Amino acid sequence: MSEPEEFLSRRLDPRSLRGLAHPLRIQLLRALRRHGPATASQLAELLGESSGATSYHLRQLAAHGFVEDDPTRGKGRERWWKAGQQGTSVDESLYKNPDPEVQGALDIYAHEIATIHTQELGTYIGTRHDWDESWLGAADMSDFTLRLPADKLRELDEKLHALIDSYRDTADPDAPGAELVRIHLHAFPQREN
């Protein structure tokens, strides 16, 4: 069994949020986290973009510390990129930041993440019959409605994150039948209508 790699997460602040809040940058970072190191040309092909666009946005991500050179790969002028961290979280203070640029960047970021989550779930639903039947009963698309104050929702969220992290710490990627599993958590207030 291989040792689990330490899970590094990046907490967004106003500057780094503005540096990440672009749909292509979010897609590039996601691709590097999911597929591992790649060149701008490889990422361009994967995402259906020009290598000039991917190269520019990779440099912007690097300027904000989201990606870095992978010195173990490439030769000559070939530049390989890798993700600097495996996760990203939003600092709660960003929601209260009065700067319109920060709020606009937060909107772009949140909408792009929601779109990615919807695409991933749609892909699973469209391909669920391709999976062994043991996965069909293990996958979940539940929703719950609770009446909670904000502090109790925050407490619930922290407990869910701790539970998920406990599985990250004990996961055996070499276990028979182990697959990459995505977990999306969406918890938000909703008006009664």
CA angle 8, 11, 13 (to 5 degrees): 150
Predicted local confidence at residue 6, as pLDDT:
62
Which amino acid appears at position 54 of this protein? T
Quote the CA–CA distance of 171 and 166 in Å, as a whole number: 9
One-character DSSP codes across 13-61: -HHHHHHH-SHHHHHHHHHHHHH--EEHHHHHHHHT--HHHHHHHHHHH
Tell me the average pLDDT across 94-116: 96
φ, ψ dihedrals at 151, nearest 5°:
-65, -35
Spatial CB neighbours of 8, under 8 Å, sequence gap ≥ 6: 84, 85, 86, 87
Average pLDDT, rounded, for the chain: 91
Strands 67-69 and 87-90: unpaired
Name the band, by pLDDT with cuts 50, 70 and 90, for residue 84.
very high
pLDDT tens-digit readout, 110-120: 999 999 999 99
pTM of the complete model: 0.84
Quote the CA–CA distance of 176 and 42 in Å, as a whole number: 30
Name the band, by pLDDT with cuts 50, 70 and 90, for residue 74.
confident
pLDDT at residue 23 tops 80: yes
Tell me the average pLDDT across 55-81: 91
